[in-house]
Structure 1
Amino acid sequence: HKFNTFLKIHAPCFRLDPLLLSVAVYLLVHLTGKPMWSALWFFMFVPAIWIRVSKNKSKVCVVTYMDKAIDSIWCILGQAFFLTVIGIVIFGYFNGSCNFTLMLPLSLLYAGLGIAITGIITDFKLMVYTPLIAFSVAIYMLVSMTTNTVVADWWNLLFGVSFLMMMVIPGHLLNHKIKEPC
């Protein structure tokens, strides 16, 4: 089955921690009125880094073209995340204010592209189309930011729901599909 190798390597990406993190960030920002709690979003990357570092590469006997393509796509998108954070820090330093609000819509765009491309490569249509929800939310956020609309703390919840629709639900359905006989 064509999803076997993909899931062995990528299944941990379909997790609920960003949704739980969105609720925690929302509550902390909303209840304290301090946007500094948004820095907790960086914890979203801890499980992915841990999985990547602790993964024993010698256990994978065969690396298919699909594996290599998907790994390359997510590597590039990971670099885009990293460079965006670095860019925000550098420009924030020179402007005297470091604002990571832009990371919410950009993260939805980056992750949405990765999921959609992964869906195309694996021929799993749900992963091709569910990122459209995240793209719509990201466009709403970006348009709101450019029209000087107030960035609301509930955007954290909107991000979490978008992430759930784009990654978690398709990921669980894909995991279920892999268990079906060919």
Structure 2
Amino acid sequence: MVSGTHAAHDIEVTAESLQAELERLRIQKQSLERELAAVVAHLGSVQRALSTLETLMLPPYGEAAPAGPAAKTAAAERDEAATPVARRSRPASPEPADAPTPAGAGIDGQKKYGKLTEQIMEYFAAVGDVDVRARDVAAALGRDVDSGSINGVRSTLDRLVGASRIRRTGRGLYRAKR
């Protein structure tokens, strides 16, 4: 009789543990999906920038373009390099990926994306010689909406420590270099 009660308790504890793990995995999945969407968006902006540069590199009017198999365009090489996974996981959008972005939207989005290192360095210059947590940096930069954004700030902080641009002063604490 006692062993049956003990077994039921073990099952209950295991079920609770699995429920907690399930919730943690759901949150991690959402975070990864957001990160993937950001990477896909950045990929699209880089592809558009390359296409624009390719048009600038076209030979002047009247000159012959190179011919033969070596004349494969960068756009064709990019299309061949694109993986089916990236194409499948692209979020559904009413506009095609190559559609021009509205005036200012691409520029502002691009300024926020890829400028995190500079924003962090400006933050450390402003706060001076104090220990700061990654969560505080993320909050100051408006990137504390979810764990994925905060982890992006943490990763950038770790890269800056590795590049000796800031220093780690304790577990989870960072400080500007003198």
TM-score (norm 2): 0.30
| Pair member with larger Rg | 2
**Structure showing greater relative contact order (alpha-carbon pairs closer than 8 Å, 6 or more residues apart):** 1
TM-score (norm 1): 0.30
